[in-house]
Amino acid sequence: MQDNFGRNISYLRISITDRCNLRCLYCMPEEGVEFKPHAEVLSYEEIEKVVRAAAPLGITKIRITGGEPLVRKDLPDFIKTLRTIPGIQEIALTTNAILLPRLAYPLKVAGLDRVNISLDSLRPERYKEITRGGDLAKVLHGINLALDLGLKPVKINVVVVKDFNDDEVMDFVEFARDNEVHVRFIEFMSIGESRTWKNRGYVENNKLKDRIGLKTKALTALSQEEVEVLGNGPAQYFKPKGALGTIGFISPVSNHFCAQCNRLRLTADGMLRPCLLSDRYVDIKTALRSGAGLPELQSLIKQAIWNKPIEKEISQVQAEGLRKPHTAFMSQIGG
């Protein structure tokens, strides 16, 4: 289905929980956030009903997010259920991978296609600092299992922050050289009101790309066919000479990609958001719990699609990579 600006909306990101087993510095404050009571979070049955309504409208790709989706019980069974819905061609997952060593195999058996893994440092102590207690060894184990099980392409999401982890950029390039992973460098955005990072800044990806190109001597842009294998997301992909994997750049601050956006977001508490950087939403939970059938749900999904703005609606301060405080933390939105 197309929105008012001719974009084909085919991708639904589903946050199944606002809870997380980490407290990453840029995602939530040290004391955590007030989690939604379980009664306010959509049940798997309710989410399934939304997906069954969305698929005939053109949604073909589902991404499971959180919070941290692996903390919610019975996720493999839920993915197995999603696999039965006609029209759904791909089911992916974004995770911090702490619990992936235990769940990778049952997720694969259930029908999960691939994973994106959030990883902002390859140094154990720094990773522990960024995540406030995370164990890098578990993440690396999860990455290896995902590769062994064929949950490919395995993408590694790296939020690059000035004077904090930007000194590890070439370490991640080497990681992509030695492993069949697709490292994506993501410009830092200040989502929420986390005071911890209010004075941090983003590293513009064009400058990062130039730095990497100078040091690697050869960065080859992937062909359109190769990019399509990795998905039609916002990343620009390149292959360092002799690398098993690739590196990519996602630039929401310096070069936003609104014109190509094909996604909706369903929050854990049942709000359908047409844009991450907008406060627009459609309340689908109330309809679900009032007994709405598929036609009523499809009407609300169409409303969300028609309400999708032409571009982001929350201003960015380009020089510092910051923006005005948002109404929710990233962990609550399911970014």
Q: Domain containing 17 — which CATH number?
A: 3.20.20.70
What confidence category does residue 30 fall into, taking pLDDT thresholds of 50, 70 and 90? confident
Q: Is residue 66 part of a domain?
A: yes
* Of residues 286 and 215, more confidently modeled: 286
Mean pLDDT of 280-295: 97
Which domain range does residue 270 map to?
11-333
Mean pLDDT of 21-38: 82
If one counts the domains in the chain, the total is 1
- Asked whether the predicted pLDDT for residue 154 surpasses 90, the reply is yes
Q: Is residue 178 part of a domain?
A: yes
pLDDT of residue 233: 83
Q: Is residue 3 part of a domain?
A: no
Q: Is residue 2 part of a domain?
A: no
**Share of the chain residues as helix, strand and coil, in percent rounded to the nearest 5:** 35, 20, 45
What confidence category does residue 74 fall into, taking pLDDT thresholds of 50, 70 and 90? very high
Q: Is residue 5 part of a domain?
A: no
Asked if residue 144 lies in contact with residue 112, where contact means CB atoms within 8 angstroms, the answer is no
Q: Is residue 135 part of a domain?
A: yes
Q: Is residue 141 part of a domain?
A: yes
User: Of 4-13, 138-147, 243-252, 318-327, which range is least confident?
Assistant: 318-327
Query: Please, what is the average pLDDT of the chain?
Result: 89
Q: Is residue 327 part of a domain?
A: yes
Name residues whose C-beta falls within 8 Å of residue 234's C-beta, 6 or more positions apart in sequence: 250, 251, 252, 257, 260, 261
Mean pLDDT of 285-311: 96
* Of residues 144 and 194, more confidently modeled: 144
283 strand-pairing partners: 271
Euclidean distance between CA atoms 260 and 279, whole angstroms:
20
The residue written with tokens 């460098």 in the block is 185
Tens-place pLDDT, residues 33-51:
788 898 999 999 999 999 9
Mean pLDDT of 109-124: 98
The radius of gyration of the chain from alpha carbons, rounded to an integer in Å, stands at: 19
